[in-house]
Amino acid sequence: MVTRLSRHDLSLPAGVRAPSYDLRDVTVGIVHLGVGAFHRAHQAVYTDTVLAADPTWGISGFTQRSATVRDQLAPQDGLYTVLERGAGAAPPRVIGALREVRTQDEDGGPAARIADPRVRLVTLTVTEKGYRPDAPAVGRLVAGLELRRRADAGPISVLSCDNLTANGATLRGRVAEHCAGLPDGDRLLDWITASVAFPSCVVDRIVPATTAADRAVVMAALGMCDEGAVVAEPFSQWVIEDTFAAGRPAWDATFTTDVAPYEAAKLRLLNATHSLLAYTGALAGYDTIAAAMTDPVLADAARRLMTEDAAPTLTLPDGFDLPGYQDSILRRFADPALGHRTTQVASDGSLKLPIRLLGTARDRLSAGGTPQWTALAVAAWMVYVATRQPVDDPLAETLAAATAGRAKPADLVDSLLPVFPDDLGPSWRELLVEHTARLLHN
Ligand code: CS2
């Protein structure tokens, strides 16, 4: 029988990087909500790197919905492998930063942990859907902050690591709305205002869903089975607003006073182009983002979405190498080793598109421009939604009902435009109708 990765046998083969610290020295200083693959391949790796110097920042991770990740990681004492794939990939690395992995209902859930005075930071990767008013993450966070206030456990920071605009302020806003609905919410909100920081940050690393083939590669490298392995590209970036209320790990990240320029560049260049390739690629029959990038028409559209539509709307940080950034995005997308599926990136479009694409459309339209490539991306989403049901989206049923029987381009566009918060006007609608017509007749 093959042994399972655990702290009892960390004699890993040469060529696999193991934690450089003693797991027994690590105490929990961070509560993380949403221990999906992205957290494990991004924030947990940065944290793992600092634990040798400061073991007080171990992570207590909570799953959002299912118990799958808990069942993968708890038997492994939270240990798992990060397998880099693609040009310049480092050897597999076993991460020990996750010292606990629990479901929402175990041991008092995240609230009890957030009230622990040794915990000084809550991080979140709950995806775009996690910030919807009816999503449970914010309520769980608020319950934890209330327990912490009552326990007089001191200030704390809350760091959203999701691809939102102004993720720190957005989360603070959701927390305030939630408090407003509580009986003693004013008192809690006063405490939060005085004691809780909500820095913004920009996270960047492509992390495709782990496949059976990836697990087999990890097993061959470790000589042990790892049910919690994650796959990532070699590239990783984290830009963080340095306004923490109770200290922070000395992560190897970029700390700055204003993340907004980095955030707009990442969302409008990388994520927008990713979505364009996901929808146009899926419609053209490509399984992966890299396969879509082999199509010269789609690769050209991806480049022009960045250079013609998004770039003119950006105010970049000083010294930012825009051409280099755009080239590196296209190179990352084109790397066939990752196997990032178009359908994975295509999920949750109703929530992603306003954040990634509609700001660019609005800015270009109000500057008198014609955001062709942005319109192509949104039109491709519309055709995807109409032809690929059921789509993976919290609004799937609404989208299905809205588009039923809408075979004509103008009807399809009119059925889906109300899904988005803002009306961008008649010329935007016309652009969408043109692109939708072309895509439907292809
Ligand atoms: C992707 C992102 O799935 C998606 O919507 O665009 O997850 C993307 O891979 C990351 O933001 C890269 O940092």
Pocket probe mutation, ligand 1, options 163, 165, 269, 276, max atoms within 8 Å of Cβ: 163
Ligand 1: which residue has its CA nearest to atom 5? Answer: 345
pLDDT above 80: residue 228: yes
pLDDT digits (tens, 9 = 90+) for 375-395: 999 999 999 999 998 999 999
Residue range(s) occupied by CATH 1.10.1040.10 in the chain: 260-440
Q: Specify the residue for token string 């991460």.
A: 95
pLDDT digits (tens, 9 = 90+) for 188-209: 999 999 999 999 999 999 999 9
- 271 Cβ inside 6 Å of ligand 1: yes
Closest CA to 313 of 248, 357, 345: 357
Distance, CA of 150 to CA of 134 (rounded, Å): 25
Q: What is the pLDDT of residue 28?
A: 98
Q: How far is the CA of 21 from the centre of ligand 1 (A)?
A: 31
Residue 199 tokens read as: 């820095």
Q: How large is the C-alpha radius of gyration of the chain?
A: 22
Q: How far is the CA of 346 from the centre of ligand 1 (A)?
A: 10
- 206 Cβ inside 6 Å of ligand 1: yes
Q: What is the pLDDT of residue 398?
A: 97
CATH of domain 260-440: 1.10.1040.10
- The pTM (predicted TM-score) of the whole model is 0.97
Q: How far is the CA of 130 from the centre of ligand 1 (A)?
A: 15
Ligand 1: which residue has its CA nearest to atom 8? Answer: 206
- 163 Cβ inside 6 Å of ligand 1: yes
Number of H helices, E strands in the chain: 20, 12
Reported confidence tier of residue 238, pLDDT bands at 50, 70, 90: very high
Fold of 23-256: Rossmann fold (3.40.50)
Mean pLDDT over 396-422 rounds to 96
Q: State the closest ligand 1 atom to the C-alpha of 271, by its place in the atom list counted from 1.
A: 6
ipTM of the prediction greater than 0.95, yes or no: yes
- 274 Cβ inside 6 Å of ligand 1: yes
Ligand 1: which residue has its CA nearest to atom 1? Answer: 345
- 436 Cβ inside 6 Å of ligand 1: no
Residue 376 tokens read as: 């192509």
Q: What is the pLDDT of residue 69?
A: 96
pLDDT above 80: residue 441: yes
**Element of type H or E holding 353:** helix 349-353
Mean pLDDT over 86-112 rounds to 95
- 345 Cβ inside 6 Å of ligand 1: yes
pLDDT digits (tens, 9 = 90+) for 363-375: 999 999 999 999 9
**Element of type H or E holding 156:** strand 156-160
Q: What is the pLDDT of residue 243?
A: 98
Reported confidence tier of residue 271, pLDDT bands at 50, 70, 90: very high
Q: How far is the CA of 206 from the centre of ligand 1 (A)?
A: 6
pLDDT above 90: residue 107: no
Q: What is the pLDDT of residue 11?
A: 87
- 204 Cβ inside 6 Å of ligand 1: yes
Q: What is the pLDDT of residue 200?
A: 98
Q: How far is the CA of 147 from the centre of ligand 1 (A)?
A: 34
Q: How far is the CA of 17 from the centre of ligand 1 (A)?
A: 26
Q: Is 226 helix (H, G, I), strand (E, B) or coil?
A: coil
Q: What percent of the chain has pLDDT over 90?
A: 95
Q: State the closest ligand 1 atom to the C-alpha of 274, by its place in the atom list counted from 1.
A: 6
pLDDT digits (tens, 9 = 90+) for 63-80: 998 899 999 999 999 999
DSSP state of 309: I
Q: How far is the CA of 334 from the centre of ligand 1 (A)?
A: 14
Q: Concatenated DSSP letters for 357-386?
A: IIHHHHHHHHTT---HHHHHHHHHHHHHHH
Q: How far is the CA of 186 from the centre of ligand 1 (A)?
A: 36
Q: How far is the CA of 345 from the centre of ligand 1 (A)?
A: 7
Q: How far is the CA of 123 from the centre of ligand 1 (A)?
A: 18
pLDDT digits (tens, 9 = 90+) for 290-336: 999 999 999 999 999 999 999 999 999 999 999 999 999 999 999 99
pLDDT digits (tens, 9 = 90+) for 5-49: 999 888 899 999 999 999 999 999 999 999 999 999 999 999 999
Residue range(s) occupied by CATH 3.40.50.720 in the chain: 23-256
Ligand 1: which residue has its CA nearest to atom 11? Answer: 204
- 60 Cβ inside 6 Å of ligand 1: no
Q: How far is the CA of 163 from the centre of ligand 1 (A)?
A: 8
Closest CA to 326 of 281, 373, 367, 358: 373
